[in-house]
A and B are shown apart, each in its own frame.
Chain A
Amino acid sequence: GESVGLHLPTLSVQEGDNSIINCAYSNSASDYFIWYKQESGKGPQFIIDIRSNMDKRQGQRVTVLLNKTVKHLSLQIAATQPGDSAVYFCAENMGGGSQGNLIFGKGTKLSVKP
């Protein structure tokens, strides 16, 4: 499949462990954040989102934490599975609801060891 990032930071975890993927965003005025998962050969897949009036949001096996003070976003994956191996990247909405206002991070490659 296609390689979406040749020089991405890589996180390697053991199956069953928890994973934490971090993202620093750029604009303190950004009001909406999204995490995407991109598997080899596929397009990005929405995982979870969070608005700036929240600091934590939970989904199925995933939790997103937002720290506006230091402009930091993290994605926690519980009980990581081999199927979680992918590139994960965050996106911030610089303001407004338009698709064009989304700024994407470069991504982190998650590798799950069985």
Chain B
Amino acid sequence: KAGVTQTPRYLIKTRGQQVTLSCSPISGHRSVSWYQQTPGQGLQFLFEYFSETQRNKGNFPGRFSGRQFSNSRSEMNVSTLELGDSALYLCASSSRGPRWETQYFGPGTRLLVL
């Protein structure tokens, strides 16, 4: 079974631009969560989607948004990029949400904001 895939793997943007990242969960998984990982803050929860609905949201500004499609694929969008948005963005999928051992992470998208 294919794992969680994320595209693109690397991205360079400039301040003020916007970016959209994509995540394809494991087949059959309906929950997709997004995380931001930085050296200073570690891994922080952004939001979780389940069956196209946002089920939970972390403490991030409104510039960070996401959505989930009917095939469970998810996108996250960051508008008006800031230098501090440079990070590794990870998504994770699970079969039916909060069962931690079934949460599988993708390889991440490395975003660099210049």
Residue numbers of A with Cβ under 8 A of B are 2-8, 32, 34, 41-46, 49, 89, 91, 93, 97-100, 102, 104-107
Contact = CB atoms under 8 A, between A and B. Distances in A.
Contact of A107 (B42, B56, B88): B42
A35 to B, nearest CB: 11
A7 B44 CA distance: 17
B98 interface: yes
Of the four ranges (under 10, 10 to 19, 20 to 34, 35 or more), the interface on chain B belongs to: 20 to 34
A24 B104 CA distance: 24
26 contacts: A2-B110, A4-B37, A4-B39, A4-B88, A5-B39, A5-B42, A41-B107, A42-B105, A43-B4, A43-B92, A44-B90, A46-B101, A46-B103, A49-B100, A98-B48, A98-B55, A98-B97, A98-B98, A99-B31, A100-B47, A100-B48, A100-B56, A100-B58, A104-B42, A105-B42, A106-B42
B57 to A, nearest CB: 7
B108 interface: yes
Contact of B45 (A6, A45, A99): A99
B44 A104 contact: yes
A93 B101 CA distance: 13
Nearest to B90: A43
Contacts of A105: 42
Given A4-B37, A43-B92, A100 B107 contact: no
Contacts of B105: 42-45
Contacts of B44: 104
A107 B44 CA distance: 13
B83 interface: no
Given A43-B90, A104-B43, A32 B100 contact: yes
Contacts of B55: 98-99
A16 B30 CA distance: 40
Contacts of A41: 107
Contact of A99 (B37, B103, B110): B103
B33 interface: yes
A44 B4 CA distance: 12
Nearest to B42: A106
A98 B56 contact: yes
